[in-house]
Amino acid sequence: MVDAVLQLEGERFHSYRLLRSIKNRFGSTNEVGVFEMGERGMEEVTNPSEFFLAERLPNASGSAIAVPLEGSRPLLVEIQALSSATAFSQPRRTGNGIDFNRLLLVAAVLSKRVGLNLAVQDIFVNVIGGMKIGEPAADLAIAAAIASSYRNLPIAADLAIIGEVGLSGELRSVSHLPRRLSEAAKLGFKRAIVPRSALRRKDDLPRGIEVLGMRTLSDALGLALME
C-alpha cells in the first residue's frame, strides 16, 4: 500500500515536465506541477502560461489562445492550425495534442454551420509546447485557429478564447470560468470570448479583462477574426 503515486510526463524533445498526482490518500489528485529540466536538475516553472506563450508571434493567422485546465490549474496555451488545399481525394486531418475525434467534430461544425469549405482542405492542428488538451473547453479556440488559417485573417493578440462547441454550432459553458479568466488577465490579455450562457453570474468574473459572451460559433468567429 502506498500513500501517493506521482507520474512524470513530458515530450522527448521538450524541456518541461508535468508532475501529476495519480493517487493521493491525503489530498486531491486534481493537481499538476510544471518543471523544466535545467543544468541543476528539475526546476519549477513558476508561471507556466507565460512559459508556453514565450515564442508566440502576434497577429499570425492560424493561432489562437486557449485556457484549458490541467488538474485544477488553468494554463494558457497556443493552438496553431494550418488549412491548405488538399492534393488527395480524401483530405487529411492531423491533430497533435488534441483528441482526434474532437478535431473531426470541430471541422464538421465549421463546414456545416459556418459554411467553410473544408472538404477540399487538409487541416493540421498543433498544441504548442507538446501540451495535451483533453477537455472540450478548447473547442472554440481550435475552431478559431482553423477559421483564421482558412480565411488568412489573424486573431487579436490580446484575445483569449474559451468554450465548448455543440453540433448545432452553439457555444456551451465550461467549468471554472472565473479561474480561467483570472489566469488570462494575469498574462495581460484584455479580452476573452466565452459562451454567453456562462455569464449568468457576472459578480464572479474577475476585473481587468473584458468578457464577451457569444451564443454561436459564427458570432464568435465574426468577433475573433480581424478583417
Domains identified in the chain and CATH numbers? 4-46 (no CATH), 50-224 (3.30.230.10)
Segment 84-126, tens digit of pLDDT: 999 999 999 999 999 999 999 999 999 999 999 999 999 999 9
How large is the angle between the packed helices 139-151 and 217-224, nearest 10 degrees?
60
Segment 157-167, tens digit of pLDDT: 999 999 999 99
Residues 8-28 have a mean pLDDT of 75
134 or 221, which is more confident? 221
Confidence band (pLDDT; 50, 70, 90) for 210? Answer: very high
Residue 30 has pLDDT above 70, yes or no: no
What pLDDT shows up at residue 37? 78
Using an 8 Å Cβ cutoff, are 161 and 174 in contact?
no
Residue 43 has pLDDT above 80, yes or no: yes
The span from the CA of 205 to the CA of 220, in Å, is 19
Strands 191-195 and 159-161: parallel
Instruction: Give the global pTM.
Output: 0.87
pLDDT averaged over every residue in the chain: 89
Residue 20 has pLDDT above 80, yes or no: no
